[in-house]
Structure 1
Amino acid sequence: MSRTYAKDLLAGRVAVVTGGGSGIGRVVAAELAAHGADVVLAARDGARLDEAARAIAAQTGRRAVGVSTDVADPKSVEALFTRVDAEFGRVDILVNGAAANFVRPSETLTSVRFRKVIDIVLQGTFSTSIAAGRRMLARGEGAIVNLVASYAWTGAPGFLPSSAAKAGVVALTRTLGVEWAPRGVRVNAVCPGLIDTPQSRERLWPEEWMREELLNGVPARKFGSEADVSDAVLYLCAPATRYVSGEVLVVDGGSSVGGVPYLRFVEKAGAVRRARPDKS
């Protein structure tokens, strides 16, 4: 938990976190709860959500509820916020952390798989932002934080669906950020760099040489942690950033400025190679 802010920083507020059942989303939800917010965790895996909600409630003493939600389905999203209305009567914070990707050479992608990522990442962020935004606008205040990635503007070999979707989320963030700011609702984004998680160690740098190769491109000479991301999200939800809207806060140890040798890494790792076309 961040020691920068008082434990009651978000007292009385209700936060909805998509992708909140695991990984960074779960850590973000726990951070918001640790600073006084009641939290609603939304994801497709209901059993994992329930476990995460129980753990967060036990750790923080705040109300934590898991709601099985498919953000790609607008009806499921509206059902989520109807549940939030019934149980909490308000929503003050929305964190969009639901993610999806198919990492493969772009020429092997099918429209089905490309569309699936767009539906979860971009359509999902749109649906949740509009549903939460309407409620926030009616009250004249609120904060929305979207999790994006630097390849939204740099591109990355093999990451076409997510790159396109995240680029859309950046545009959505900036547009809503300026459109809703006069009405008291702030919309910003956090862009994590290389974050050390079990999933990253398994999928991105399973071998030590891969880890070292990537670290060579990080000016801070270390990977970020989930707490680094949750601290940034908390900052953008705090009253201290009431004059910040439409911004993308990059949390990457200087990588996007210093220039990660990602293309060289991909070539060396063989991460992008020719594969048989998808048949899905």
Structure 2
Amino acid sequence: MATEQIFKNNILKGKVAFVTGGGSGICKGMTEAMLRHGAKAVIISRRFDKLDKAAEEMRKEIGAEVLAIAADVRKPEDIIKAVELTIEKFGRIDILVNGAAGNFLSAIETLSYRAFRTVIEIDLIGTFNTSKACFPHLKKSKGVVINVSANLHYQATLYQSHAMAAKAGVDALTRAMALEWGPHQIRVNGVTPGPIGETVGFAKLSPVDVSKEDISRRMPLQRVGKIRDIEYATLYLASDASSFVTGTILLVDGGDALRKHSILPYPESVLNPFDSSPKKVGAKL
């Protein structure tokens, strides 16, 4: 999706963005927005086949330099190697987007020990691993970190205890990094998407029998989000437009966090993960 030219198209010229989860969904949109505004990008994911396809699409559609590297954010050695390859290719890292994440619906009592740990490892530990590996290069470039969060834990959200715990940790880590890395002129902020209607996650995590229109009517701004909404926030946080902003969690959720929205119908398979209904949820990883 092309971002409308609200920002000058050269505001990120010469910058290199390192994006985990950048091959799909919201993070792919974030990557494309930065590419369209002058950046080069490295996208990271475990699945190289899909990642390489996404990189090729970006090269053809945008005409920018994109490097795809298969790596697991849970493994420090993978990320350290990916950073080394990035420096070999581009010589610098200016923007880090920690977007790799995992989520699904599951009641706590049916959530496996392994599944809970896996989400924490991808979202929270992956953010730490990647940030630490990129730090020396962000220090050199006086760079920017954008941690992708969620508003699930600002009140509470049914059947997402694992993601709530992980993203609460990400928000805390964002503030800690901003405090400690500020003297190095590294800005660290979070961006928190609300319901983004164009994504797989929206369909997967939405209550059953509740349409996009129903959810829109319950939103203060009366609509669900678009990926472009997150793209605009990314460009703001990645550019000098936010040069005095650090330690901020930027809510881009149409006011979703202001309302109570947990009491909605969810599939019975949440309570019984062995149910064979079409809306079956992944209680195991």
Per the TM alignment, residue 110 of structure 1 is displaced from its structure 2 partner at its CA by: 2.0
Letter in 2 for 1:32: M
Contact 1:210 / 1:269 at 8 angstroms: preserved in 2?
A: no
Provide the residue aligned with 1:134 in structure 2. Answer: 136
Letter in 2 for 1:116: T
Per the TM alignment, residue 212 of structure 1 is displaced from its structure 2 partner at its CA by: 3.5
Distance 2:243 2:89 in 1: 27
Indicate the SS of the match to 1:20.
coil
Contact 1:144 / 1:188 at 8 angstroms: preserved in 2?
A: yes
Indicate the SS of the match to 1:91.
coil
Provide the residue aligned with 2:277 in structure 1. Answer: none
Distance 1:108 1:13 in 2: 45
Provide the residue aligned with 1:115 in structure 2. Answer: 117
Higher fraction of helix: 1
Provide the residue aligned with 2:261 in structure 1. Answer: 262
Distance 2:210 2:87 in 1: 50
Per the TM alignment, residue 179 of structure 1 is displaced from its structure 2 partner at its CA by: 1.3
Distance 2:20 2:222 in 1: 30
Matched, 1:105 2:85: no
Letter in 1 for 2:272: A
Distance 1:57 1:211 in 2: 32
Contact 2:93 / 2:141 at 8 angstroms: preserved in 1?
A: no
Per the TM alignment, residue 216 of structure 1 is displaced from its structure 2 partner at its CA by: 2.7
After superposition, where does 1:1-280 map in structure 2 within 5 Å? 1-137=3-139, 139=140, 141-200=142-201, 202-205=203-206, 209-257=210-258, 259=259, 261-265=260-264, 268-270=265-267, 273-275=270-272
Q: Comparing 33-42 with 176-185, which one deviates more in the overlay?
A: 176-185
Per the TM alignment, residue 173 of structure 1 is displaced from its structure 2 partner at its CA by: 0.3
Q: Provide closer, same or farther for how the CA distance between residues 2 and 183 of structure 1 changes in structure 2, counting only shifts above 3 A.
A: farther
Distance 2:14 2:196 in 1: 31
Aligned CA-pair RMSD: 1.9
| Residue correspondences, number | 275
| Runs of 5+ unmatched residues, structure 2 | 275-282
Contact 2:156 / 2:262 at 8 angstroms: preserved in 1?
A: no
Contact 2:44 / 2:51 at 8 angstroms: preserved in 1?
A: yes
Contact 2:16 / 2:90 at 8 angstroms: preserved in 1?
A: yes
Per the TM alignment, residue 200 of structure 1 is displaced from its structure 2 partner at its CA by: 4.0
Per the TM alignment, residue 182 of structure 1 is displaced from its structure 2 partner at its CA by: 1.8
Contact 1:72 / 1:124 at 8 angstroms: preserved in 2?
A: yes
Indicate the SS of the match to 2:154.
helix
Deviation per CA, 1:11-69: give whole Å up to 9, x if none. 11100111011111111111100000000010011111111111112222221111011
Distance 1:201 1:102 in 2: 11
Deviation per CA, 1:164-200: give whole Å up to 9, x if none. 0100000000111121112110000000111012414
Distance 1:75 1:164 in 2: 25
Letter in 2 for 1:44: R
Per the TM alignment, residue 217 of structure 1 is displaced from its structure 2 partner at its CA by: 2.0
Percent of aligned pairs sharing the same letter: 35
Distance 1:207 1:116 in 2: 26
Letter in 2 for 1:262: H
| TM-score normalised by the chain length of structure 1 | 0.92
Contact 1:15 / 1:38 at 8 angstroms: preserved in 2?
A: yes
Q: Provide closer, same or farther for how the CA distance between residues 170 and 205 of structure 1 changes in structure 2, counting only shifts above 3 A.
A: closer
Distance 1:110 1:206 in 2: 21
Distance 2:232 2:92 in 1: 23
Q: Provide closer, same or farther for how the CA distance between residues 161 and 42 of structure 1 changes in structure 2, counting only shifts above 3 A.
A: same
Q: Provide closer, same or farther for how the CA distance between residues 130 and 73 of structure 1 changes in structure 2, counting only shifts above 3 A.
A: same
Per the TM alignment, residue 6 of structure 1 is displaced from its structure 2 partner at its CA by: 1.2
| Runs of 5+ unmatched residues, structure 1 | none
Per the TM alignment, residue 150 of structure 1 is displaced from its structure 2 partner at its CA by: 0.6
